């Protein structure tokens, strides 16, 4: 069971709880202690999982840098968080180089097949039901994660891919301890997993849900990592691993007795061979005298978080009451999402005004819509960033497309001061539900991040499918630097479209409300995405704050859990603080190389 958010620091010394469900067999896996905050020297790693964090720390201790450790951590998350990430998915990688004091990024987003068109998810002229599209070959984009790892290592790493994959390979072979989160996520997918024999064989051992406290092994994934380590990513983009992916997408291995219509995809060897992870400039905006860097389109994360920060720039959130702080935060999110829906798509296909979306002039023209004693109505129409008009809106509001929430995020720093903020995903929990036979990993359902059809045929939708196109994302890995170009904090979160609001709330909690990083991460969350109602976690929904906000016109709906942030903070004299969730997703794991100094 997931519990309501807690803001107390009393959990700082907590370790992973192992709850027996039925008769658990003896566990050979050794799960490291799990704590949401760590302070020390030599580098730091924060992720949702203790085994994955430990893999990154292992690489740092062996002389690897932040990039090496980030890839090692990500590969380990592919073992222990297989429903959220893995080599069948993609993501966005943000890197700070301490020597040059610069930020660089990699767009490792999945792409649509080269044969795809705007009708990818239309059947008989009508959009497919969302669930039908998800659990099908149609939803699977060309994986970008392996290419991202190699691109990052080639550009900024110090170790070979095979070397940094070793901890994850070992973890997949020897196993990890099943916790309640892993079991509950398996249970939520049990029905569709049973439709695919290879998925059921892997994730429903002996035909049943994995037992909490038991050891879960994935020898097929261990062999896949070993193959990647020896042959390089060519094994996927030009080799046998890739052939298996293509065959699985184009003829999903569904159990005919299940009755499930697993529609075939259109992925080809040509799509894999053509795939490139893209080095690109980050987004940048100034906030409170600091420089905030994130990922540029195809993700909407950097532009949307940046626009919202610009909208909030001239409001003193540090002195606002809790209700006024949340009011302004909610309204800034509403406005930024209205603009995101109209203007952001894959810039290789769409004319995305990223620079204009991040201009203070445009933000000021939108910020004047916010009143202290009234609430904007959603769906709010977008503004025009190229021709800002004070308090102006125009055109038709675009709905926020659904994005799966169980992505994962990791944050790493090394002893040289380098930082990685990296969010990776296979889309929603369990991705497409389709496991590549004999390979040990699930395939993504990222293409369902596209709009299935235009909300209004008279208005251009920048997020319709296209050949080789990247679907719009909300992923927002962020690094904040001071005026001297030194890191202040780096963070990110999973959570689908709630990623943007989670990152925004954590940043403002830390920078404006002056909460310790672990408290800013643990704070109860709200999420407004240009919808009729704002989502609230229980600690806010059940509080007096809700009533005070409703009194000025807000409308709310409960959401049991929003996001799962990790971050690192630079402290004086080479010291790092790593922070993760205290409760969400079972609590996160923060570690440092040397806690004693």
Please say whether the dihedral angle defined by the alpha carbons of residues 425, 430, 434 and 439, taken in this order, is positive or negative.
Answer: positive
Let me know: does 108 contact 93? Beta carbons within 8 Å.
Answer: yes
Q: Judge whether 135 counts as a catalytic residue.
A: no
Question: What is d(CA 7, CA 324) in angstroms, rounded to the nearest whole number?
Answer: 20
Q: Name all contacts of 120-124 with Cβ < 8 Å and 24+ positions apart.
A: 120/447, 120/450, 120/465, 121/447, 121/448, 121/450, 121/452, 121/453, 121/465, 122/452, 122/453
DSSP for residue 2: -
What is the number of other CB atoms lying within 10 angstroms of the CB of residue 219? 13
Structure-block tokens of residue 197: 């024999």
Question: What is d(CA 299, CA 297) in angstroms, rounded to the nearest whole number?
Answer: 4
- Tokens 């109209």 label which residue? 342
DSSP 315-369: S-TTTS-HHHHHHHHHHHHHHHHHHHHHH-S-TTTS---HHHHT-HHHHHHHHTT
What is the number of other CB atoms lying within 10 angstroms of the CB of residue 319? 9
Structure-block tokens of residue 467: 């050949």
Question: What is d(CA 495, CA 10) in angstroms, rounded to the nearest whole number?
Answer: 25
Catalytic residue among 31, 407, 498, 502: 407
CA 184 to chain centroid: 20
Question: What is d(CA 72, CA 55) in angstroms, rounded to the nearest whole number?
Answer: 6
**One-letter-per-residue 3-state SS of 469-536:** CCCCECCCCEEEECCCCCEEEEEECCCCCHHHHHHHHHHHHHHCCCCCHHHHHHCCCEECCCCCCEEE
Quick check: helix, strand or coil at residue 280? strand
Let me know: does 581 contact 522? Beta carbons within 8 Å.
Answer: yes
CA atoms within 13 A on the CB side of 137: 21
Beta-carbon contacts of 20 under 8 Å, excluding residues fewer than 6 positions away, are: 211, 212, 213
Cα separations in angstroms, 109 against 145, 413, 499: 8, 23, 16
Instruction: Of 150, 142, 44, 121, give the one whose Cα is nearest residue 420.
Output: 44
Please say whether the dihedral angle defined by the alpha carbons of residues 366, 369, 373 and 377, taken in this order, is positive or negative.
Answer: negative
Strands (E), 223-349: 278-280, 283-287, 290-294
Catalytic residues, by residue number, are 407
């Amino acid at each position: 069971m997931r519990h309501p958010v807690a803001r107390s620091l009393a959990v700082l010394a907590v370790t992973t709880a192992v709850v027996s469900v039925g008769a658990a067999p003896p566990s050979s896996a050794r799960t490291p202690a799990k704590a949401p905050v760590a302070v020390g020297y030599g580098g730091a790693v924060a992720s949702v999982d203790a085994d994955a964090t430990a893999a990154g720390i292992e690489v740092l201790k062996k002389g690897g840098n932040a990039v090496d450790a980030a890839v090692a951590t990500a590969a380990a998350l592919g073992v222990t968080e297989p429903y959220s990430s893995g080599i069948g998915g993609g993501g966005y990688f943000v890197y700070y180089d301490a020597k040059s004091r610069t930020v660089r990024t990699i767009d490792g987003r999945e792409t649509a097949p080269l044969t795809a068109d705007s009708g990818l998810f239309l059947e008989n002229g009508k959009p497919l039901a969302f669930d039908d599209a998800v659990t099908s070959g149609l939803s699977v984009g060309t994986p970008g994660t392996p290419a991202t790892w190699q691109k990052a290592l080639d550009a900024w790493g110090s170790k070979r891919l095979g070397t940094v994959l070793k901890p994850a390979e070992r973890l997949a072979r020897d196993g990890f301890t099943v916790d309640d989160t892993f079991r509950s996520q398996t249970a939520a997918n049990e029905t569709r997993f049973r439709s695919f024999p290879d998925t059921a064989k892997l994730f429903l051992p002996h035909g049943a849900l994995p037992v909490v406290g038991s050891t879960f092994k994935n020898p097929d994934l261990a062999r896949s990592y070993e193959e990647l380590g020896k042959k390089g990513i060519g094994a996927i983009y030009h080799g046998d691993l890739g052939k298996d992916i293509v065959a699985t997408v184009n003829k999903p291995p569904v159990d005919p007795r299940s009755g499930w219509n697993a529609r075939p995809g259109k992925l080809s060897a040509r799509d894999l061979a053509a795939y490139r992870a893209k080095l690109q400039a980050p987004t940048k905006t100034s906030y409170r005298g600091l420089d905030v860097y994130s990922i540029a389109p195809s993700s909407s994360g950097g532009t949307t978080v940046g626009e919202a920060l610009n909208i909030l720039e001239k409001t003193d959130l540090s002195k606002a009451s809790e209700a006024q702080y949340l009011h302004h935060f909610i309204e800034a999110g509403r406005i930024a999402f209205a603009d995101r829906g109209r203007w952001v798509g894959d810039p290789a296909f769409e004319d995305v005004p990223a620079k204009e979306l991040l201009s203070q002039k445009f933000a000021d023209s939108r910020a004047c819509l916010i009143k202290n004693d009234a609430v904007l109505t959603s769906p709010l129409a977008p503004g025009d960033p190229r021709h800002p008009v004070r308090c102006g809106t125009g055109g038709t509001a675009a709905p926020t497309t659904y994005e799966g929430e169980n992505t994962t995020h990791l944050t790493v720093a090394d002893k040289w001061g380098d930082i990685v903020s990296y969010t990776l995903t296979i889309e929603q929990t369990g991705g497409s539900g389709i496991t590549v036979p004999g390979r040990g990993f699930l395939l993504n359902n990222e293409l369902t991040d596209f709009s299935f059809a235009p909300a209004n045929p008279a208005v251009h939708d920048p997020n319709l499918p296209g050949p080789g196109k990247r679907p719009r994302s909300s992923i927002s890995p962020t690094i904040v630097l001071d005026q001297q170009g030194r890191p202040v904090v780096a963070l990110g979160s999973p959570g689908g479209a709630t990623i943007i609001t989670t990152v925004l709330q954590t940043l403002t909690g830390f920078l404006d409300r002056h909460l310790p990083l672990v408290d800013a991460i643990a704070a109860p969350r709200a999420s407004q995405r240009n919808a009729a109602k704002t989502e609230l976690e229980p600690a806010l929904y059940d509080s007096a704050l809700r009533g005070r906000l409703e009194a000025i016109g807000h409308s709310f709906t409960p959401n049991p859990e929003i996001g799962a942030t990790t971050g690192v903070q630079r402290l004086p004299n080479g010291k790092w603080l790593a922070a993760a969730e205290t409760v969400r997703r079972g609590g996160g794991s923060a570690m440092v190389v040397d806690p004693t100094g």
